[in-house]
Amino acid sequence: MTELASLQGQTTLSAPPNGLVPHDAHVLAGINRILQEALRASTEEELGRLCLEVAEDLTGAAFSFFGERRDSHDRLDHIAISERGWAAYTGNDPDYSRRLLPDGMKIHGIFGQVILQDRSMIVNDPASHPDRIGTPEGHPTLRNFLGVPLRRDGQTFAMFALGNHPTGFTERERAIAEELAPAIVQALLRKRAEVASRASQRRLLTLIEGIPQLVWTATRDGQWTWASPQWVEMTGLSVEQSMGHGWLAAVHPNDREAARRFWADASERGDLAMEGQLRDARTGRYRWFKTRATPVRDDHGTIVEWFGTSTDIDTLRRLRERQETLVAELQHRVRNILTIVRSIFTRTVENGGPIDEIADHFRGRLDSLARTQVVATQTRSGRVDLENLIRDELLGVGAIEDDRLSIEGPDVFLPADTAESVGLAIHELTTNALKYGALRHPTGRLHIAWHVEHISNSKCELIVKWDETGVPAMPVPPVRQGFGTELIREALPYGLGARTRLDFRGGGVLCVITLPWADEHVEAPNRSIEE
């Protein structure tokens, strides 16, 4: 207590005579009480007040305080003031009314000699002591004083002081206080270790709860001893249900045997890692996790526990699988496109004609193929809108929708390989119409339409119809079968399983392409309530 900084009087520094160190039942009971209460005290101050209460009861002191030397060595911070000490104060200091412990007291005066000389002190006549420095207002008058150093690793780091024995302190009281000192140190250090451990555990739990991984601990053979809140939330298994081998209930049945083998040679390998699926109780589906386990070893290198984490890699794994699929699709597409380009080039050259005409045909067909590729790569699905495919071809030759040209059909999205072949067919029909048919003659009409027809519960067909009318009658169909005719009549049936019809009629070309289809490729039409 601060008033002890102004003690005055005579000092006794001699060691207690033989036979005065008490080992009676009262002192032993006090020591036991200190050590036992150390486990129940919630703070250092609470423990300190208990220690001071035991010392006051055994020595007959009226009040006491417990202080620790700062790292700066010239200042003392209070750990505790006894309840009798708080009650004895009569001043108006607001810190005392709020029971705030004084800190930063300069180590001097009589109490300072206990620390500076590292020895117990009895002062029964403070007024005549040469180190007196006075007593602050409000502090109780000090009639006598007993101070005892507290040591750790052979060094004095703290002290406790007792004041105002009814008849003055004797060697017996000093012996009692010195007997209590080791128990007080032990209780204080134990409490600090406990508090530090709890704080460390709180920090660790806070850290664990703040990371996205599922965290757990296990014995050497894979029996779990603890699981983090993330595990409980994700799997729906409580900590109790996950203990032992209960955690296997969250593992996908196909991965359970691998999970058991995971632990089979754990001690020999010393580091474990595997990928497997865990059931997400929040969605009901299984997600991929990468699990790692690191051993905790004792001083002899023996594995005593495993610390494990399970990291959600479901999205990453699915992206990786998607990437592998895309690479395979890309390789297939490249080979397919090269095959188409080679075929286009071969058939264009075989048809003969002036080199400029051959170049124009080849360039037009490549442009059509390129347009399809651009549209396919601009969508996540890789599919091509049939209507846009047709309109792009017509716009490329300056044909726009008017009273001579009509385009109609539901929203249909073609797979890229289908769009390549259909796009080339539309290009050939457009080129022919521009040279000989409805797009050349003022009286010509062109109607392009498509629809999906349901054949049965499991089968559908996409039917695309190109119908030219109003074209002056041609005397006979073309004598020579060109690239477009061969593409529609032979390549589409062979490559896409299509049925095709290509008629060179008097009045214009009629082309009908019927493709096997799936419902998901067409957007469902809007239906009214009456339907």
Q: What is the pLDDT of residues 363-375, one digit of tens each?
A: 666 676 666 666 6
Q: What is the pLDDT of residue 379?
A: 63
* Percent of the chain with pLDDT strictly greater than 70: 79
Q: What angle do CA 510, 516, 517 make, to 5 degrees?
A: 110
**What is the residue-wise DSSP string for 220-289?**
TTS-EEEE-HHHHHHH---HHHHTBTGGGGGB-GGGHHHHHHHHHTHHHH--EEEEEEEE-TTTSSEEEE
Output the pTM of the full model: 0.48
Over residues 334-384, the pLDDT tens digits come to 666 666 666 666 656 656 667 766 666 666 666 766 666 666 666 666 788
Give 92 or 378, the one with higher predicted confidence.
92
Give the mean model confidence (pLDDT) for residues 117-131.
Answer: 87
Q: What angle do CA 299, 305, 307 make, to 5 degrees?
A: 115
Give the mean model confidence (pLDDT) for residues 191-219.
Answer: 79
* Averaged pLDDT of the chain: 80
Q: What is the pLDDT of residue 13?
A: 38
Q: Which of 248-257, 282-291, 315-324 has the lowest mean pLDDT?
A: 315-324
Q: How far apart are CA 193 and CA 47, in angstroms?
A: 13
CATH 3.30.70.330 fits 2-200, yes or no: no
Give 21 or 109, the one with higher predicted confidence.
109
Q: How far apart are CA 338 and CA 333, in angstroms?
A: 8
Q: Is pLDDT above 70 for 122?
A: yes
Q: What is the pLDDT of residue 446?
A: 92
Q: Is pLDDT above 90 for 458?
A: no
Q: Which of 143-152, 197-206, 372-381, 407-416 has the lowest mean pLDDT?
A: 372-381
Over residues 486-521, the pLDDT tens digits come to 888 888 898 889 999 998 888 889 999 999 987 654
Q: Is pLDDT above 60 for 40?
A: yes
CATH of domain 212-312: 3.30.450.20
Give the mean model confidence (pLDDT) for residues 438-464.
Answer: 88
Q: How far apart are CA 280 and CA 251, in angstroms?
A: 10
Domains 2-200 and 212-312 share a fold: yes
Q: Which of 177-181, 458-462, 472-476 has the lowest mean pLDDT?
A: 472-476
pLDDT band at 528 (very low <50, low <70, confident <90, very high): very low
Q: At residue 512, what is the residue type?
A: V
Domains of the chain, residue spans = 2-200, 212-312, 354-523
Q: Is pLDDT above 50 for 1?
A: no
Q: Is pLDDT above 70 for 109?
A: yes
Q: Which CATH superfamily is domain 354-523 in?
A: Histidine kinase-like ATPase, C-terminal domain (3.30.565.10)
Sheet holding 145-152, edge to edge: 105-106, 75-81, 63-69, 155-163, 145-152, 121-123
Q: Which residues of 91-111 are buried (b: 16+ CB within 10 A; e: fewer)?
A: eeeeebeeeebbeebebebbb
Q: What is the pLDDT of residue 263?
A: 80
Q: What is the pLDDT of residue 254?
A: 93
Q: What is the pLDDT of residue 9?
A: 38
pLDDT band at 19 (very low <50, low <70, confident <90, very high): very low
pLDDT band at 408 (very low <50, low <70, confident <90, very high): very high
Q: Of 176-185, 369-378, 430-439, give the range with the top mean pLDDT.
A: 176-185
